[in-house]
Amino acid sequence: MSLPEDLRREFETMVERALEEDRAFDDLTGRLLIPGGLRAAGRMIAGGRFVVCGLPVAEMVFRRLDARVRFAALVEEGGTAAEGDVLCEVEGEARALLAAERTALNFVQLACAVATRTARMVEAVRPLEVDVLDTRKTLPGLRALQKYAVRTGGGRNHRLHLAERVMVKDNHKALLDGDASGVEFWRGIRAALGEAAERAVVEAETPEEAEAALRAGFRHIMLDNFARDELARTVRGLRAAGDAVYVEASGGLGPDDAAEVARAGVDGMSAGALTRHLRTPEVSFEVERL
Which pLDDT belongs to residue 20? 98
Domain with CATH 3.90.1170.20 in the chain: 5-122+278-289
CA distances from 132 to 72, 212, 263 (A): 31, 26, 14
Q: How confident is the prediction for the chain on average, in pLDDT?
A: 96
- pTM of whole model > 0.85? yes
pLDDT confidence bin for 55, thresholds 50/70/90: very high
Tens digit of each residue's pLDDT (9 = 90 or more) over 214-240? 999 999 999 999 999 999 999 999 999
Using pLDDT thresholds of 50, 70 and 90, give the confidence band for residue 1: low
pLDDT given at position 258: 94
- Residues sharing a CB contact under 8 Å with residue 96, sequence separation 6 or more, in sequence order: 62, 65, 66, 69
Is it the case that residue 176 has pLDDT exceeding 80?
yes
Q: Dihedral through CA 61, CA 64, CA 68, CA 69, nearest 10?
A: -10
What average pLDDT does range 56-78 have in this prediction? 98
Rounded mean pLDDT, 25-52? 97
CB count, 10 Å around CB of 54?
Answer: 28
Q: Residues with catalytic annotation?
A: 102, 137, 169, 203, 224
- pLDDT tens digits, 76-126: 999 999 999 999 999 999 999 999 999 999 999 999 999 999 999 999 999
- pLDDT the model gives residue 123: 96
Q: What is the pLDDT of residues 115-158, one digit of tens each?
A: 999 999 999 999 999 999 999 999 999 999 999 999 999 999 99
Per-residue confidence (pLDDT) for residue 90, from 0 to 100: 98
Indicate the CATH number for domain 124-274.
Answer: 3.20.20.70
Superfamily of domain 5-122+278-289: Quinolinate phosphoribosyl transferase, N-terminal domain (3.90.1170.20)
- Output Rg (C-alpha) for the chain, integer angstroms: 23
Q: Tell me, what amino acid is at 174?
A: A
Q: What is the DSSP letter of 263?
A: T
Amino acid at 270: S
pLDDT confidence of residue 241: 83
pLDDT in tens, 269-280: 999 999 998 999
Helix or strand (DSSP H, E) at 74:
none
Domain with CATH 3.20.20.70 in the chain: 124-274
